[in-house]
Amino acid sequence: MKKILLSLVLMVAVFATNAQTKVSKTTIVGKWSLAAMDIDGMLFYDIDKDSLSLGSAIMTQLAAAGQDSAGAVDMMKGQLGAVKELGFEFLADGTFKANGGPQGSEGGTYSIDEATETITMTNKKSGDKKEIVTSFKDGKLVFNIPAEGPGPKQVLYLKVSKD
C-alpha cells in the first residue's frame, strides 16, 4: 500500500511541475502590478515585503567610498518609491496600458508568441517595439528585460492587481 501511495504522490508531483502556466493571450489578460524587481548585479527590491538587497556591484562601490549600506538602502528605497506604481493592463482585444513608468502612462498593442513565451509590445505614440521574454513563476508574471546599452538586464515580477 505504501508503494502505491508513494507512486501516486510522485506522479502528482511530476504532473504539477509540468503543468506550469504558459504565457498566452488568455493567461495575461488583466491588471498586473509590480511585486518585485531584480536589476542584475545591482539590487533586488521586493515591494510586497519592502525589502531591498544590494548586489555585489553596489556593495563594492559603497565599500570603496566608505559608505554604510544601511543608509544606501534607505536612500534607494526612497528613490525607487515611484516604481511601486508601475503596472500593466493587458486587454483581450490585444491592447495594453502601462502606468507609472518613466514616461508616465503609455499604451499600444501587444502580441504573444506562445512557442517562445515572448510578448511584443508596440507603443501607440512612438511605434517603438519591445520584445520581452516572459514566464509564470509562483503565480507571478515574470518579464525578463534584456540589457540595453551599458545598462544591466532587469527582471520584473508582476502580480495580479486587486484594483
Place of cell 506522479: 11
Domain ranges of the chain: 22-160
* DSSP per-residue codes, 80-122: TGGGGG-EEEE-TTSEEEEEEETTEEEEEEEEEETTTTEEEEE
pLDDT digits (tens, 9 = 90+) for 106-147: 899 999 999 999 999 999 999 999 999 999 999 999 999 988
**53: Cβ–Cβ under 8 A, 6 or more apart, which residues?**
43, 44, 45
The letter for the amino acid at 79 is Q
For a pLDDT cut of 70, what percent of the chain falls above it?
A: 85
DSSP state letter for 29: -
Q: What is the mean pLDDT of the chain?
A: 83
Please report which confidence band the pLDDT of residue 105 belongs to, taking 50, 70 and 90 as the band edges: confident
Q: What is the CATH number of domain 22-160?
A: 2.40.128.280
Residue 48 pLDDT more than 50? Answer: yes
Q: What pLDDT does 101 receive?
A: 65
pTM above 0.85, yes or no: no
Please report which confidence band the pLDDT of residue 58 belongs to, taking 50, 70 and 90 as the band edges: confident
Q: What pLDDT does 103 receive?
A: 63
